[in-house]
Chains A and B, each alone.
Chain A
Amino acid sequence: MEDYKFLFKVVLVGNAGVGKTCLVRRFTQGLFPPGQGATIGVDFMIKTVEVENEKVKLQIWDTAGQERFRSITQSYYRSAHALILVYDISCQPTFDCLPDWLREIEEYASNKVLRILVGNKIDREDREIPTHVGEDFAQRHSMYFLETSAKEAENVERLFMEIAAELMEQARSKELPRYETNATSINGKTTSIGDSSNCSCSRLT
């Protein structure tokens, strides 16, 4: 029996090469593997963190940015509790694609999904997108915003910990009967995730 109280699915999306895999690796393994090959399909990692003395299990789905994997990655949007949309602050095109990504999120993800915009690679000196531009974009689309560097381990821990805290907050305030799968209310949709009965959590729909 695994020992955790909440399980959340976090999905990372964004153009190829913006550093999604590096962010995940940095957070889950404390590594920055340079010369990482492109992700094939989806990869996933698990990390259990502690928020307010509660064990929270984060299931992090790292998706391939390339177009041809879109059908695979899209299928993971629906069950995601949080979606991290990543761009590269030193690469304008990755920022320009954000509206396309948002459209896709609209189409496939639950409308209550927690959305976070992340500008990665702030260790780079050739910045093309100023912080306030990213901030503006996030605000306009009611997303959380954070700039990170997977290489320098900057804000990476914070990113995931804040997501865990926020999701826990939401889960606590939303649904009361979190532990018994058969005690669901009629109007609220309560889906338990995880295979043991004492470690389910509510879906944010």
Chain B
Amino acid sequence: MDQTVTEENLQQICAKLSDTEVAVNNELDLILSRYCHVEAKLQNISKVLPNLTIIHSEADKLGEMITFTNRLAENVSAKVRRLDLARSRVSECQNRVHDVLDLQLCSQGVATALRNEDYEQGAAHVHRYLSMDRQLLERTAQDVSGDHTSISSSLVTLQQAAHQLRTVITHKFDEAVKDEDLASVERFFKIFPLLGMHNEGLSKFCQYLCTKLQETAQKNLKAALDAKQTDKRASVIYADTMTLLFEGIARVIEIHQPIIETFYGPGKLLPTVVILQKECDRQIKKIIREFMVHRNVSKKVHAINELLRKQSADKIDPKDLDLLLGEITIMHSRAELYIRFLRRRISNDLEIGVANIDQRKDQLQEFELYIGKSELAHAMQELLGAYLALERYFLEESVNKAVGMDTLDQDQQTSSMLDDVFFIVRKCVRRAISSWSVDGVCAVVNMACGILEGEFASQLRSRLRQGYPAGYLDLAQAYNALQTSIQHGRLQASDTELARLMFLAYLNNTDVSIEHVETLTKSLGEEIATAFPNMREKERGKFDSCLAGLRGVTSTLRAVVDYGLEQLRASAVKPRVTPWVDSFLSLNHHINEDELLGYETEEPFVQTLVMNLEGLLQVFKGGLTPSNYDALIGILTAEVTARFEKVVLKSTFNRAGGLVLDKEIRALAGYLAAATSWSVRDKFARLTQIATVLSVEKVEELADYCGADAVAWRLTPAEVRRIASLRTDLRPEDIKRLKL
């Protein structure tokens, strides 16, 4: 109400005040109306108040009761706990009594068993004794020391019995081994683990198996040495002996692994194999020694190395090495097979026996290391070394022989050396694959590359270097002469004829050998993939690299083909084509309308040229492989067009002459295009365009031909002007004025 009271708002203020009054009245009414209600509540409260004291005292009582119960419960549980302890002690005690009873039983049993020689029973008793907590037993013995029970004496008895049994079993086992009593050997072998002698048992048993292996192996080796030369398997007798040894060991493992697993637990194959491998190594060494001596391997390798150094007359016939090479690869592959068998078996055994993956890996690694250092691996490396030295000689000498005995059949495009060489190369690599040695295969592939790129390629090249002798004036004539001489049964063709045929054959040899190398690489890749199904990354890399090297031989061979074709061009194509094309110069190219008609029907120049070319090609058509023949036509086309261009530029024409030329060039291009599967259009481009220039009606037409948009136009403006000026009927001023 802080407004200043004025006349004007007096009314307003009054209204406001009365409003406020009404509101206050209302509020007061509301409060009054609640009075009754509040009064009632207060009365209620005063009525309930005494109850509260009762509740309080009751709650106190409850609390006391709970505390009491709690104490009681604790007391009870402590008793229970004590009871439990007592019960467990009783049970332990029971166990101990059991053990003690068993101990006594065992000690008595052992004695009886020993007396009765029932070693299984005895060992079972000892096993029971060994499974007891020995320290506890000893303490028990001390605890009851006052009482003269038989516990300590039982312990002593059992200890003695165990010791005695161990000695007896060992002794009995040795005796059984000596008596070759297999049943007893196996019987005692099963007892060892009961006596806690796992390692001793395994090692003793394996030693026994080793002696068995040794006997068989010696017998086999002796049989091999005594085998007659006429024996069917005489040539592979050492490989057979080795195979028998491996098979023997594999069989031993096959038979005894289940027994070992049952009585000694899984995961024991690795130590078993380690012991057996020692015997294997000893026997392999013996076999290899005999093999080396009786097959003269070292002597042969030595002789071959000598031969490679200095060419001597008395060479070893590669054929004589064939059987030996075969035997070595068999030996190597058998050893590889055997190692794969061991690896597989051990890895399976470890999978069951060793839960930890890292440990498993370690053990496998241990096996790899062991086998890698073994005498067997060493022997395999020696074998491979000898094999490669011999195979290299075989490959080189056989290829040399094939090249030396090269013959050419009249109806063949290639000579015998081609197929022979590739047959030998394939045979050698295949033999290497059969050895199952990655390095061996790679080495032989490398050798094959060497010989193909070296000796083989240089043979091809040197024959082609002698060139294609063009003795006859006309090649068709030469060919006919040869044909008649063959028909008349005079097989000895003259030197020139023979040289010519040989040249073509070698050109074909080279061409076909490119194909052969490609096929060989592909098929060897497939064969290798089949022979080595589980190649590791690195091994695959080795193969790929070596095979890529083999494929690379094709580029050397392609260079030789190019060289041969160049020779052919120089001696057979160029000298013949030049005079044929040059005859164009002696012709008149200023033709009147009447003559033009005659030319249109006859085309005398080009008909003769085509006939000559046909004659030339005919000689080669049957004699060259399709791709060489195509290449020859390519060379011929290049030669003809180049020469033709030269002679055209030396001639002069009128329009009719130009038209005739244009027609003749089309006919020539048509003929050559029909002769080959390759396109010759490109080679004729310039020539056709020259003819176009020479056959224009008016100089102005030229501008259309060689305008900027003519992409395929090959002639420069200067050349166009020069060619146009050959037309005597065109005015030089017009040509000069021409804007190109």
Contact = CB atoms under 8 A, between A and B. Distances in A.
Given A72-B385, A72-B439, A186-B562, A44 B541 contact: yes
Contacts of A186: 559, 562-563, 566
B548 A41 contact: no
A191 B553 CA distance: 7
B385 A71 contact: yes
B549 interface: yes
A69 B381 contact: yes
B525 to A, nearest CB: 11
A191 B556 contact: yes
A59 B442 contact: no
A202 B384 CA distance: 32
B369 interface: yes
B559 A192 contact: no
A68 B442 CA distance: 16
A143 B187 CA distance: 70
A181 to B, nearest CB: 5
Given A59-B545, A71-B384, A71-B385, A182 B446 contact: no
Interface in B83-115: none
B549 A79 contact: yes
Contacts of B450: 75, 78
Contact of A181 (B377, B443, B558): B558
A93 interface: no
B214 to A, nearest CB: 26
Given A46-B541, A75-B446, A78-B446, A190 B385 contact: no
A184 B443 contact: no
Given A37-B372, A40-B372, A72 B558 contact: no
B715 interface: no
Interface in B429-484: 438-440, 442-444, 446-447, 449-450, 453
B385 A69 contact: yes
A184 B559 contact: yes
Contacts of A189: 556, 559
B41 interface: no
Interface in A58-76: 59, 68-72, 75-76
A43 interface: yes
Nearest to B560: A186
B555 A181 contact: yes
Interface string B385-407: 11111001000000000000000
Contacts of B545: 44, 59
B555 A192 contact: yes
A42 B381 CA distance: 12
Interface string A171-205: 00000000001101111111111110000000000
Interface string A105-124: 00000000000000000000
Interface residues on B, range: 35 or more
Contact of B381 (A59, A68, A192, A193): A68
Contacts, number: 93
Q: Name the prevailing secondary structure of the B interface residues.
A: helix
B554 interface: yes
B506 to A, nearest CB: 15
Contacts of A37: 369, 372-373
B382 interface: yes
B542 interface: yes
B538 interface: yes
B271 interface: no
Contact of B554 (A41, A68, A181, A188): A181
A17 to B, nearest CB: 15
A68 B385 contact: yes
Interface in B555-590: 555-556, 558-559, 562-563, 566
Nearest to B308: A107
B554 A40 contact: no
B318 interface: no
B439 A42 contact: yes
Contacts of B196: none
Contacts of B373: 37
A76 to B, nearest CB: 6
Interface in A26-57: 37, 40-44, 46
A71 B558 contact: no
Contacts of A76: 443, 446
A128 to B, nearest CB: 29
B266 interface: no
Q: Which of B378, B552, B556, B566 has the most CB of A within 10 A?
A: B552
Given A37-B369, A44-B538, A78-B449, A72 B440 contact: yes
Given A44-B538, A193-B548, A184 B562 contact: yes
B555 A71 contact: no
A32 B218 CA distance: 46
Contacts of B372: 37, 40
Contacts of B556: 189, 191
Interface in A126-155: none
A190 B559 contact: yes
Contacts of B387: 71
A41 to B, nearest CB: 4
Contacts of A184: 555, 558-559, 562
A20 B544 CA distance: 23
A102 B542 CA distance: 25
A193 B553 CA distance: 10
Nearest to A181: B555
Contact of B392 (A42, A71, A192, A195): A71
A44 B536 CA distance: 13
A6 B450 CA distance: 22
A201 to B, nearest CB: 11
A71 B559 contact: no
Interface in B520-560: 538, 541-542, 544-545, 548-549, 551-556, 558-559
Nearest to B559: A184
A47 B563 CA distance: 37
A34 to B, nearest CB: 15
Contact of B389 (A43, A71, A79, A191): A71
B514 to A, nearest CB: 10
Nearest to B382: A68
Nearest to A186: B563
Interface string B207-229: 00000000000000000000000
Q: Residue among B450, B555, B558 with the most chain A CB within 10 A?
A: B555
Nearest to B437: A41
A194 B388 contact: no
Nearest to A191: B552
A25 B382 CA distance: 27
B591 to A, nearest CB: 44
A76 B446 CA distance: 7
Given A37-B372, A44-B538, A59-B545, A191 B555 contact: yes
Contacts of A59: 545
A70 B385 contact: yes
A186 B556 CA distance: 9
Given A71-B389, A186-B562, A191-B552, 11 more contacts: A40-B439, A59-B545, A75-B388, A75-B447, A78-B450, A184-B555, A187-B563, A192-B555, A194-B548, A195-B544, A195-B551
Interface of A: 37, 40-44, 46, 59, 68-72, 75-76, 78-79, 181-182, 184-195
* Shortest Cβ-Cβ A-B pairs, 8 listed: A71-B388, A41-B439, A75-B446, A75-B443, A184-B559, A186-B563, A191-B552, A68-B385
27 contacts: A40-B381, A40-B439, A42-B542, A44-B541, A44-B545, A46-B541, A59-B545, A71-B387, A71-B388, A71-B443, A72-B384, A72-B439, A75-B388, A75-B392, A76-B446, A78-B450, A184-B555, A184-B562, A185-B559, A186-B562, A191-B552, A191-B553, A191-B555, A191-B556, A192-B555, A194-B548, A195-B548
